[in-house]
Homo-oligomer: A and B are copies of this chain.
Amino acid sequence: MKVNKTTSKPRRKPAQSRSSNTVDCILEASAHILVSEGQGKLNTNHIAKIAGVSVGSIYQYFGNKETILAELGNRHIDEMLTIIMATLQKLPSLDLKEALETMVHAVMDAHKQEPQLHQVLVRELNKLDGYTRVEELDGVLLNLTESFLKSRAHEISSEDLKLASFVVMQTIENLTHQGVLFAPQIDLSKLTKECSHMLYCYLTG
């Protein structure tokens, strides 16, 4: 049976500054291990050693290993959402072609934030029972895409806006993600243009 391990067992919340520093060290060490040594080496004793902190300190602030991953995920997803949300306000004043380019560019920027960490983190968060923020992020992006397409419905030839939203959102998400991972083998500014051009052709054609 699967149990949510990411929210139970309440722990102390940092009050003094040194303790929130400890928390940051733990999270940074975990991120570092994930990227440079892989999930297999992510164990609490090792995290403590890399963070320069004792195991006990970890369990002052995190109920278990899973909540460390969850918090790492929360922070990362929040960063991405911030970047993407900031771009939304620019869209209404732009024409369709420009708007698509801006969207792709924004998601690209979001993915440039520690792309390796993003990849490994999403992998591991998907294994975390009860952690729903990855799906939440996807849901938000899908909704944003759909309301954007609705606002441009008169310019768009597609009949099924739900399906079109799925296609647009998945295409942006995946092409930027893969592009960033393959950079600099792939020219990201060229890819941004290519991607938005494809979507423009698709939506208008």
Contacts and interface: CB of A to CB of B under 8 A. Distances in A.
A190 B171 contact: no
A26 to B, nearest CB: 21
B175 A167 contact: yes
Interface residues of A, number: 31
Nearest to A174: B174
A136 interface: no
Interface stretch (A11-19, A44-52, A76-84, A193-201): A193-201
Interface stretch (A53-61, A93-101, A145-153, A158-166): A158-166
A201 B205 contact: yes
Contacts of A199: 198
Given A39-B127, A127-B38, A202-B202, A194 B167 contact: yes
| Oligomeric state, in copies | 2
Chain A at the B interface: SS class:
helix
B186 A163 contact: yes
A182 B139 CA distance: 13
A127 B194 contact: no
A185 to B, nearest CB: 9
Nearest to A123: B123
A164 B197 CA distance: 12
Given A39-B127, A166-B191, A171-B198, 5 more contacts: A40-B127, A163-B191, A166-B178, A166-B179, A167-B198
